[in-house]
Structure 1
Amino acid sequence: MADIDDVTTALENAIAAVVYPNGTAQPSAIGVPAAIYPGWPTSSQLDADLRVLGSGGNGKIHITIFPRPHEKNTTRFPMQYTEHSYSPATLALSIAGQQVTISGGVSTPQNVVLIVSGQIYTYAVQACDTLPSIATALAQKIAGATAAGAVVTLPATARITAVRAGGSGTIIALTKQQQREFQITIWADTPAHRSAAAGAIDSALSPIIWLQLPDGSSGRLRYVQTLIDDVNQKASLYRRDLIYSVEYSTTNTITATQVVAVEQNNSLSMPDGTTEPLSTTYQ
């Protein structure tokens, strides 16, 4: 699920891709080394890095990402689960006369089902299973059925309606939405270094409409404002704050199995308005 740390990390990664497009082992694209991290700088470390950089040494500017306090609840969608990922069944079942043959590879989780004479017989495949053990497990559920190898043989009177294997996956739902401002601060030793970093970052972030988050969802990215602080220029500290808001969703992901059989209850409507059950069928 996406949370405030996921959004911070996504912004950090987006900024790092701008400053170090070829990786941190290569020179930065803004002409000055930079430390990029979430949170707020430690004064002693920031002062030391800027002082060394200003004297021509191996220092660096700092770029921090900090979530601002105010948050707005923007929840407006009903919670509804949709398919997120799917792993198809690796088993296959086939019918030949009164025999059902199981083939394919054994993996979990997946289910197999036989619909025989109006009844369903399911089996959840286990990690220790083999094709013969799956056939045996199914045969044990059906009166008069036998198993030999990967083949289940049913009685001559049995009516085989369908045989299936089903895979599994995950489903995801949006549980709530929220909007929060994030402060991207450039801490530099000179106005030129500050401008180089802020300009590159702002230019890269401003066209982004949807910020991709680690859980596969995305957040709506919007520019809010820019703040400039030269109060500490005597200490060779030049700061610029880029404020962006991100509206993102908190999600819940759960494991789900593929439907392999559908139960249908049939009833008869009587003249007096009551209903009488007729039968239950499986498809």
Structure 2
Amino acid sequence: MASLTDVMKQVASQVAAIMYPNGTGQPSASGIPVRIYPGWPVPGELETDLAAGKAHISIFPAGKDRKTTRYLGGSWVPLTVPSHTVVMTVVGAVVTLSGTISKQNLLINLNGVSYVYAMQVTDTLTTAAAGLASLIPGASSAGPVITLTGAHAVFARVGGFGTAIKETKRQEQPVQITIWAQTPEARDAVASPIDSVLSDSNNISFTDGSFGIITSSGSLMTDQLQKADLYRMDLFYLIDYATTQTQQQTEVIAPVLNIVNAQSGLPVITVNP
């Protein structure tokens, strides 16, 4: 889930990318060294850095959030698709496993009946083949090869695991991006590229796969501490972001089709398509 801390960290990362477009080992877009972080400055560190010609950019909540939930009962949306690292090749009555081990399900459908083995991360292709063969009457394995008996219809499938995400609510959080510099010129040089890029943005993504909406809500310049060689500018933004839940979802590889008599309601046939 995206939390307030995630929002602060992501905004700080976005600001860092703007200030150091060529990497943090290269000069900043302002031409002076800049420290960027979520939170409020430590006075002693700020004073020392300003005296050394550095600037600070702090990212901090600018008040209480506001609920912006537009609906309830949101549906699950796929976030990551299942990955398949094992390949099952069927030739006649022989099934051969190849590839690499990972958490996934292996299926062999023999004559209309499905047999599924849950591969373990401690498996090898040989042990996975043995585990699957042990579930199938009359089957045997040698290495990664499974041999079936009495087979007239065979197919194999590999099923992986993906993740899905669901929004439970949304909120709008005011955020202030504060530039602290030793001179008005340094302050303006730092603030200008940040405001230019962020004000042209609409979306901001978070590590849980959700997205937010970022909009500018003004700025404030303060020179009250100029006697201490401290010049400040606050850039205010609103971040509309989601609180989410995520869950693991299993890929379906062994569906069952039930056909019933419409008049009696009794089952007619059950098949594994």
Q: Same fold (TM over 0.5)?
A: yes
SS in 2 for 1:23: coil
**Counterparts of residues 133-212 of structure 1 (less than 5 Å):** 133-156=127-150, 158-212=151-205
Which residue does the alignment assign to 1:23?
A: 23
Could you tell me which amino acid in structure 2 is paired with residue 194 of structure 1? R
CA distance in structure 2 between the partners assigned to 1:128 and 1:170 by the alignment? 22
SS in 1 for 2:63: strand
CA distance in structure 1 between the partners assigned to 2:262 and 2:183 by the alignment? 84
SS in 1 for 2:27: coil
Residue among 57, 63, 73 paired with 2:57: 63
**Counterparts of residues 23-172 of structure 1 (less than 5 Å):** 23-50=23-50, 52=51, 58-77=52-71, 78-97=73-92, 99-156=93-150, 158-172=151-165
The alpha carbon displacement at 1:120 in A equals 1.6
Structure 2-normalised TM-score? Answer: 0.87
CA distance in structure 2 between the partners assigned to 1:167 and 1:188 by the alignment? 52
Q: Does the CA contact (< 8 Å) of 1:114 and 1:160 recur in 2?
A: no
Q: Does the CA contact (< 8 Å) of 1:102 and 1:131 recur in 2?
A: no
Q: Does the CA contact (< 8 Å) of 1:106 and 1:129 recur in 2?
A: no
- Change in Cα spacing, 1:160 to 1:136, as seen in structure 2 (3 Å) is farther
SS in 1 for 2:64: strand
**Counterparts of residues 212-251 of structure 1 (less than 5 Å):** 212-251=205-244
> Any runs of at least 4 consecutive aligned residues in structure 1 with deviations exceeding 6 A, and if so which?
none
- Change in Cα spacing, 1:146 to 1:196, as seen in structure 2 (3 Å) is closer
Q: Percent identity?
A: 41
The alpha carbon displacement at 1:161 in A equals 4.7
- Change in Cα spacing, 1:34 to 1:133, as seen in structure 2 (3 Å) is closer
The alpha carbon displacement at 1:70 in A equals 1.5
SS in 2 for 1:275: coil
2:273 paired with 1:280:
no
CA distance in structure 1 between the partners assigned to 2:107 and 2:23 by the alignment? 51
CA distance in structure 2 between the partners assigned to 1:62 and 1:75 by the alignment? 34
SS in 1 for 2:37: strand
1:82-101: CA deviations, max 9, x gaps? 3222353232333343x132
CA distance in structure 1 between the partners assigned to 2:26 and 2:67 by the alignment? 41
CA distance in structure 2 between the partners assigned to 1:86 and 1:19 by the alignment? 34
Q: Does the CA contact (< 8 Å) of 1:183 and 1:242 recur in 2?
A: yes
CA distance in structure 1 between the partners assigned to 2:148 and 2:238 by the alignment? 64
Which residue does the alignment assign to 2:12?
A: 12
Q: Does the CA contact (< 8 Å) of 1:91 and 1:102 recur in 2?
A: no
Moved more, 214-223 or 79-88: 79-88
CA distance in structure 2 between the partners assigned to 1:44 and 1:12 by the alignment? 21
SS in 1 for 2:15: helix
SS in 1 for 2:81: strand
Could you tell me which amino acid in structure 2 is paired with residue 143 of structure 1? P
CA distance in structure 2 between the partners assigned to 1:186 and 1:234 by the alignment? 17
The alpha carbon displacement at 1:259 in A equals 1.5
1:159-192: CA deviations, max 9, x gaps? 4353212233322222322211100111222222
CA distance in structure 2 between the partners assigned to 1:260 and 1:225 by the alignment? 53
Moved more, 36-45 or 141-150: 141-150
Give the gaps of 5 or more residues in structure 2. Answer: none
CA distance in structure 2 between the partners assigned to 1:179 and 1:122 by the alignment? 46
Q: Over the residues paired in the alignment, what is the CA RMSD in angstroms?
A: 2.4
Q: Does the CA contact (< 8 Å) of 1:93 and 1:100 recur in 2?
A: no
SS in 1 for 2:134: helix
For the pair shown, the structure with the greater C-alpha radius of gyration is 1
1:62-111: CA deviations, max 9, x gaps? 211001222122223543223222353232333343x1322312311111
